[in-house]
Chains A and B, each alone.
Chain A
Amino acid sequence: MKLDLERLSILFVDDSPFIRTLVISSLKMIGVGHVSLAKDGGSAIDLIKKVKSDPMRAGIQSIDMVISNWDMSPTDGSMLLRWLRRHKDSPDRFMPFLMLTAYTEQQRVEEARNLGAHEVLAKPFTMKSLGEKIALTINRNRQFVHTRDYFGPDRRRQSGSLSAAERRERTDKSIDVEIVHG
């Protein structure tokens, strides 16, 4: 069955005008109803705040997902993600976030996940791989986890394949666990 992306609003953040133009055309081609663009993390933060405070002036009712490049200046993708997840002014700390990175080292991928990215996509990417990540983010409704060191989507996505050491010691009924539904 097909996704109907007409009501979806995506913010795409990249410092290259060439890539911004290409990606906006491609996202529209797969049916995304609204695509906003920002040239770096700082402009993205400004837009996200504006959409929250004055959606009429911003020209968008909401942003449903952020797709951002990592390496940008002056404010890069990791700073944007950190702001979204941690900052008091962030209007949606649970925002689905997809990070694009030319750095494919495992360390970078893990860093993006530890900052709270839903998905990480290595460059060079194809529209097929980007589309798959978007579909994955929509289909998998991951719970968010808040601990002393981490706030973001649950990083344990593969159920059933965990070793005893990896398995969580806590359960929903543990005294130090709180479940928030919404």
Chain B
Amino acid sequence: MDDIKENTLDKKTAIKVRYYRFRNKLREKTAGLSGSAGDIGLEIDFAALQKAEALFAKATEDYPDWVLGTIQQLVNLHAQCLSEPKIRHESFDKISHIAHDLKGQGGTFGYPLITSFATSLYRFSSMKTDVEDHHVEIIKSHIDAMRAVIRDRVSGDGGTIGVELARGLDEIIKRYKTRNTN
């Protein structure tokens, strides 16, 4: 009995690679009347895919307008930070929430710079320290940078314009942070 156990253990420790070869359950579920056997590649219904593609293309086309509406919400919240300093933390929470949504979308619709700027805005607006005037100005810089991306349709990495926008935002953040520490 012990010998058997030992042999089994020896075999187990000697195994370096395990291959799992399962039947194709996904194919069984989706092959329909064509059956699950065979290596023929089945395709998604072309007409349906065309319709979905059109829906996607429309959303991509609408994205700049949609995002401008969202940026306007940020503009309003920034104005609220200035006019109602007592509730700045609350406004920052709302800004952070919007930035979080924005950062997930830009890349999908061909505007990765929106994602980078929104990511930076999200990190910045999620801070737990006291919100002071220079912090509010940094929020404004993010909004301006995103607005420029959409206004000038700076898609992709934006080439030279994209680099300039990113550098401009970095410099403003640094300047305001330095002002705070001096």
Q: Does any Cβ of A come within 8 Å of B1's Cβ?
A: no
Which of A12-20, A46-54, A107-115 participates in binding chain B?
A: A12-20
Known: A22-B56, A22-B59, A139-B41. A127 touches B34 (CB 8 A): no
Contacts of B103 in A (CB 8 A): 71
Candidate in A16, A65, A126, A172 with the most chain B CB atoms within 10 angstroms:
A16
- Contact status B21-A3, CB under 8 Å: no
Nearest to A137 among chain B residues (CB) is B26
- Contact status B104-A15, CB under 8 Å: yes
- How many chain A residues touch B (CB < 8 A): the figure is 61
- Contact status A8-B23, CB under 8 Å: no
Partner of B45, one of A31, A94, A147: A31
- Contact status B30-A5, CB under 8 Å: yes
- Contact status B17-A177, CB under 8 Å: yes
Q: Per-position contact with B for A124-144: 1 when CB-CB < 8 Å, else 0?
A: 111110011011011101011
Q: Does any Cβ of A come within 8 Å of B9's Cβ?
A: no
Which of B74-82, B109-117, B128-136, B146-154 participates in binding chain A?
A: B109-117
Known: A102-B115, A141-B27. A146 touches B45 (CB 8 A): no
Q: Does any Cβ of A come within 8 Å of B120's Cβ?
A: no
- Contact status B104-A143, CB under 8 Å: no
Which of B46-54, B87-95, B165-173, B174-182 participates in binding chain A?
A: B46-54
Partner of A16, one of B18, B20, B101: B101
Partner of A1, one of B16, B42, B52: B42
- Contact status A127-B55, CB under 8 Å: yes
Partner of B55, one of A3, A5, A18, A26: A26
The tally of CB-CB contacts under 8 A between chains A and B is: 174
Contacts of B101 in A (CB 8 A): 15-18
Q: Does any Cβ of A come within 8 Å of B140's Cβ?
A: no
Q: Does any Cβ of B come within 8 Å of A4's Cβ?
A: yes
Report how far A127 CA is from B57 CA in the complex, Å: 9
- Contact status B52-A131, CB under 8 Å: yes
Report how far A170 CA is from B17 CA in the complex, Å: 9
Contacts of B52 in A (CB 8 A): 25-27, 29-30, 127, 131
Known: A29-B48, A65-B26. A181 touches B53 (CB 8 A): no
Q: Does any Cβ of A come within 8 Å of B141's Cβ?
A: no
Contacts of B29 in A (CB 8 A): 7-8, 64
Contacts of A58 in B (CB 8 A): none
Q: Does any Cβ of A come within 8 Å of B72's Cβ?
A: no
- Contact status A146-B44, CB under 8 Å: no
List 15 additional contacts besides A124-B110, A135-B44, A139-B27; criterion CB under 8 Å. A1-B43, A3-B30, A3-B32, A3-B42, A26-B56, A29-B48, A30-B45, A73-B100, A102-B108, A124-B109, A137-B26, A141-B26, A178-B18, A180-B20, A182-B21
Chain B residues at the A interface, C-beta cutoff of 8 Å: 14-27, 29-34, 40-45, 48-49, 51-53, 55-57, 59-60, 66, 100-101, 103-110, 112, 115
Ordered nearest first, which 9 A-B pairs have the shortest CB separation? A102-B107, A4-B32, A16-B104, A141-B24, A144-B20, A176-B16, A26-B52, A123-B107, A146-B18
